[in-house]
Each structure stands twice: as C-alpha cells, then as structure tokens.
Structure 1
Amino acid sequence: MANLTIVANIIANEGSVELVKAELIKLIDITRSEAGCIQYELHQDNENPAHFTFFENWSSRELWQDHMGAQHLADYLAATEGAVASFTVNEMTQVG
C-alpha cells in the first residue's frame, strides 16, 4: 500500500494567530517521533498569516489514525478551543 499523505488546513480566528501557531509548533517534534510518521511539516501562508497547513506523510492510515487519537492532539484541541475558525483534513495518495 502507498503511503498516506495528509494535507491539514487550519485557519485561526482573528486575534488568535500567535496562540494557534505556538500550539501547532508544539506538535511537531512529538509527532515526528511517532510510529509511522515519515514527514510532518508546518507551513504558514505568506499573505494570510492566520492560515496554517500541515503537510504530512504516514506509512499507513492506521498509524495516522493513532496519531489523531494521541494525547498531544487532545491537548492541542483543548488549548486552541475557540481560537480556530476552520480545520480541514484531506487524505491523499501520491500519483506521480
């Protein structure tokens, strides 16, 4: 089976950009050490600093789902409650 690519888009509410950014940065090192994590990169839009994108590659969907249920994700959600306008996740497969 091909690796699973995840593109996650997070839009912070006005006035919450720095809080959301700080909490997202906390996820990087711990996630990179998780089983199945191949790539986990956070990006911030140059024209809209409230827009963050994680570009992720996982060895399997099951290990990504383990990540989504991890305590550090629950901690992030609690810390950013009310600070995020939208959060979308696309599960993708590389085709070329």
Structure 2
Amino acid sequence: MSKKLTITADIYAKPDRIDLVKAELLKLVEVTRAEDGCLQYDLHQDNVDPTHFFFHENWESRAHWEAHMENAHLAAYQTATEGAVADFKVNELTHIA
C-alpha cells in the first residue's frame, strides 16, 4: 500500500527576477492541482524575504509525485526560469503524528 507523501519546496529567486519566478510558479498551481494523486498544492511567498517562495504539497503516493515531476508544465517552468532561480531545495516528508 502506498503512503501519502508530503513535499516542501523552497525556491529562492534572484532579487532582480522575483516577478518572473513568481509568475511562472503561479502557472503551475491550477494545472498541478488537477493532476491525478494531487491532494494539496499550495504556493506561499515569504513576508520578509520576497525572493523566497515555498510550496507545501500532499500527494497520494510517491509515484504520483514522481509522475508530476515528469510533466511538461514543470519542464516549461524550468526553461522559463533558467538563470532566474538562486536556490532550490525539496524535502520529502512522511506525516507521523
């Protein structure tokens, strides 16, 4: 049986590319929420550091998230933001309590 997977992603835009990165991240939200296995896909922007964006995601399983990572809209995001992202970190989490 597959276990639900929580993903957090920290994305830091270069200071002069905040608007571009934000616009491209926003394009991901609706299409990803419609994907099979997506339970939650929420985008946040830090109130103090506007270069910092944060996704909180919940997927029915790791397989669903892996399928998401292979979708064309993520490839388009990566192409559109090439050179505009300063740092990116993904955490895979399992809810324990």
Aligned sequence identity (%):
56
> In the alignment, what sits opposite 2:66?
65
1:4-30 deviations in Å (ceiling 9; x for gaps): 000000000010001000000000000
Q: Return the TM-score normalized by structure 2.
A: 0.97
- 1:29 counterpart SS class: helix
After superposition, residues 13-28 of structure 1 pair within 5 angstroms as 13-28=14-29
Deviating runs (4+, > 4 A) in structure 1? none
- AA aligned to 2:71 is A
Give the unaligned 5+ runs of structure 2.
Answer: none
- 2:73 counterpart SS class: helix
The answer to whether structure 1 residue 35 and structure 2 residue 20 are counterparts is no
> In the alignment, what sits opposite 2:50?
49
Cα-Cα RMSD: 0.6
Aligned 8 A contact 2:46 2:53 in 1: yes
- AA aligned to 2:91 is N
Report how far residue 95 of structure 1 moved: 1.1
In the alignment, the residues of structure 2 paired with residue 17 and residue 42 of structure 1 have an alpha-carbon distance, to the nearest angstrom, of 14
Q: Return the TM-score normalized by structure 1.
A: 0.98
Give the unaligned 5+ runs of structure 1.
Answer: none
In the alignment, the residues of structure 2 paired with residue 95 and residue 66 of structure 1 have an alpha-carbon distance, to the nearest angstrom, of 24
1:14-71 deviations in Å (ceiling 9; x for gaps): 1000100000000000000000000000000000000000000000101100000100
Report how far residue 2 of structure 1 moved: 2.7
In the alignment, the residues of structure 2 paired with residue 95 and residue 19 of structure 1 have an alpha-carbon distance, to the nearest angstrom, of 36
In the alignment, the residues of structure 2 paired with residue 58 and residue 85 of structure 1 have an alpha-carbon distance, to the nearest angstrom, of 26
Corresponding pairs, count: 96
